[in-house]
Structure 1
């Protein structure tokens, strides 16, 4: 029997933060902010565009968050050693797939956004995916676009079940198990687009009277430890296309706000997403991306495999 174990890292962070794990320490770890810390934000959507520079107190708080995340990983390392040891001792390791991933990324100071996960940038939407198990060569880096929705069809194929037509995502079982030389990148077609969606959670009930603003602004996640940088709002609602076709790595986003704001980035040329190139795209390109978004937000199952 094939076993599949999925480890979601945010659960471990929650447990550590609230004291359910023993204290681990990484006191000398400091966050190195990337080039997007002090850039002009005039070409970003309203929530990011309106952000003020982070204070020294906020930067100190972000450093503490970063340290705690490393501390959490120390606990993850220990737990994974224990898990693999038990699987080996019970002779289950050779028929068990272990998946390590996360439900979201997490920005820490990028674009003057203190610590959260609600923006359409790689800090927030890109997640780790590590897999070990029978037939998976050690040391392989798979250079392919994968979404979390792909895990379900992949797991179904691992255990010998057919994938129903209504299941979203596509299996990457065959690519994962291909025989390749150790430590070599696996190169194959990337002709795919992925859907990214987020609905802003701001409403009357998310108002924080300790921070500036009004209840009717529908801001959210405004906290004193972040200098009242509000990290969500009603108009922080968007759908995006991540386009990997034709050797591209491009993201195109449409915001559901009063501005009908658009953002697009070429991740090959601009990995930190500093320059919004949406109006450098041809009108036909923007129209085609809009049609793709309409299709991907309504389709289900195999009809979504564009």
Structure 2
């Protein structure tokens, strides 16, 4: 297998002749980062950002990517508690590039009117996202692959995506057609690559942009965004460049390159405790799902293997990029970040292949960072999210950090990571609006869409507790204790479950009261309040964690005076008057009784 993989990509290992130095003298100044770390006079670093589509962590996809293991995990730091905040492509990508949660970007779905590239543009974000800020800081910026959903052959030039020195975008409606992709370079017309594998086309473009970036002689950012391992999508309307309703689109397993079609025969979805369980779990529509038949399980195992096969092309891209960086003698001064937009589930909780839930399979995702001063072969337990990545990338570049970021720069040195283990926040905000899709077989018991999938959720993780709390727009509530139930099979707030008397060292009702108040702040937080929400609840600064909030002196505050998370109605996107009571960011009156200060 290895001989074949090397043979196919051998040409990628011979870069074109490049003139000149990668960096001029103006780029040799020391950089002091927001976290106090310095680059000690190193050249301004390059950044290569590899972003896959729908890649899982909890179904072990990384175990089948030997080049990612060799080049990134063994030479970098793996952040095992990294989370997306919306488990859906477009909202997650907008959050990633803006450093803002979806409720602050108002890009909450994949297509208009609530999401997609047109929504990104209408919200003014085309002038307020990462590549624009990097260019303002002296970086050249390059990108190839999928940028956003609904970025299409119809609207790619109205307006062009801002901030890119050079780009080659995948365009809808051909984004998810592995053997019929369309790319659009800079301001040229779109070009069809029918008959060629989309990720192989991307590999060539990524290496071409890397050469272009190096030859330009400035520090650079290169984004590489393959469609793998997303499902393959097709509709008769696509052949003419037209779009189609989700109900009319055929979802099928991803399509690997021909050289990978025979790999991993017999491999199956990991049979964890939450895989197609005998007992229903969760809440809302998930708890109503029937147990999958053996025929469905077999189909989903095939779907899973096809995902692993399509990821082999991505793995080869990683190897090619590392080889090219080494040849150009810039590998040691380049950060390589590997992540995905959201996770994925297949069979867990009886669900068909898809994402869009707040279970670990959908929100806990890969993040690996390799680069100068990054600990090698290290695993970090600190909590990080996609809202943290834009600040982190600007920090790497030595650029000014914006004060409206909802995230916090991730430390990337051994000392910084060690300090963060004791000081970094413990919460993750999760949110979703609209439908949940089924990307597998459409059966009577598994329809294409579940329309009621709007919710607010959070994760709280420390050395002594590991909790998931969720409020659905229909009023359902969920609470899972992952220290005793890592598969999230027991909803402690469902009447059919036997709930423990205590959780996280306190009574169940006291913990729920704190979590509900925390989620109340986070569901409409902005900037500093998203990073340090307990300060909004306790301005005196005497509470910084759930553990602190559980002191008995605060019982009356949380159980009698705090506001609860609720919705006025279920909607397909972010509509403020459907969101229920909001934290105003100006005072605490909407959260607590006016005499709140007597209880802090």
Distance 1:2 1:231 in 2: 45
User: What TM-score, normalized by structure 1, do the two folds share?
Assistant: 0.83
1:194-214 Cα distance to aligned partner (Å, 9 max, x none): 100111327xxxxxxxxxxxx
Distance 2:229 2:463 in 1: 38
Q: Pick one of 255, 263, 266 that aligns with 2:472.
A: 255
Q: What is the CA distance between 1:169 and its match in structure 2?
A: 0.6
SS of 1:135's partner is: coil
Q: What is the CA distance between 1:18 and its match in structure 2?
A: 6.3
> What is residue 348 of structure 2 aligned with on the other side?
110
Equivalent residue pairs, number: 281
Q: What is the CA distance between 1:27 and its match in structure 2?
A: 2.0
> What is residue 79 of structure 1 aligned with on the other side?
317
The alpha-carbon distance between structure 1 residues 68 and 224, as it changes in their structure 2 partners (threshold 3 A), is closer
Is the counterpart of residue 131 in structure 1 residue 347 in structure 2?
A: no
Q: What is the CA distance between 1:161 and its match in structure 2?
A: 1.4
Q: What is the CA distance between 1:266 and its match in structure 2?
A: 0.9
1:99-154 Cα distance to aligned partner (Å, 9 max, x none): 11111111110111021112221111110111111111210101111111111111
Residues 115-264 of structure 1 correspond to what in structure 2 (within 5 A)? 115-173=353-411, 176-179=412-415, 187-189=421-423, 191-201=425-435, 221=438, 224-225=441-442, 228-230=445-447, 232-245=449-462, 247-257=464-474, 260-264=475-479
SS of 1:157's partner is: helix
Distance 1:190 1:274 in 2: 29
Distance 1:223 1:30 in 2: 15
Q: Pick one of 51, 55, 60 that aligns with 2:289.
A: 51
User: Is the CA contact (8 Å cut-off) linking 1:33 and 1:109 kept in structure 2?
Assistant: no
SS of 1:112's partner is: coil
The alpha-carbon distance between structure 1 residues 187 and 74, as it changes in their structure 2 partners (threshold 3 A), is same
Q: Pick one of 284, 287, 300 that aligns with 2:513.
A: 287
The alpha-carbon distance between structure 1 residues 79 and 196, as it changes in their structure 2 partners (threshold 3 A), is same
Residues 3-82 of structure 1 correspond to what in structure 2 (within 5 A)? 3-10=46-53, 11-14=227-230, 21-24=257-260, 25-36=263-274, 37-41=276-280, 44-82=282-320
Q: What is the CA distance between 1:26 and its match in structure 2?
A: 2.4
Distance 1:15 1:3 in 2: 32
Distance 2:448 2:401 in 1: 38
1:263-303 Cα distance to aligned partner (Å, 9 max, x none): 01111111011111237463343232222222112121122
SS of 2:229's partner is: helix
SS of 2:422's partner is: coil
Q: What is the CA distance between 1:46 and its match in structure 2?
A: 2.3
SS of 2:471's partner is: strand
SS of 2:429's partner is: strand
Is the counterpart of residue 305 in structure 1 residue 531 in structure 2?
A: yes
SS of 2:430's partner is: strand
Distance 2:254 2:508 in 1: 50
Distance 1:7 1:145 in 2: 21
Distance 1:137 1:243 in 2: 26
The alpha-carbon distance between structure 1 residues 15 and 135, as it changes in their structure 2 partners (threshold 3 A), is farther
1:235-254 Cα distance to aligned partner (Å, 9 max, x none): 22111111125732111100
SS of 2:285's partner is: helix
User: What TM-score, normalized by structure 2, do the two folds share?
Assistant: 0.44
1:18-71 Cα distance to aligned partner (Å, 9 max, x none): 658444132232223211222422x52121111111112211111111111211
Distance 1:295 1:157 in 2: 27
Higher Cα Rg: structure 1 or 2? Answer: 2
SS of 1:110's partner is: coil
Q: What is the CA distance between 1:188 and its match in structure 2?
A: 3.4
The alpha-carbon distance between structure 1 residues 18 and 123, as it changes in their structure 2 partners (threshold 3 A), is closer
Structure 1 unaligned segments of length 5 or more: list them.
203-219
Q: What is the CA distance between 1:92 and its match in structure 2?
A: 1.7
Distance 2:443 2:370 in 1: 38
Q: What is the CA distance between 1:232 and its match in structure 2?
A: 4.4
User: Is the CA contact (8 Å cut-off) linking 2:296 and 2:441 kept in structure 1?
Assistant: no
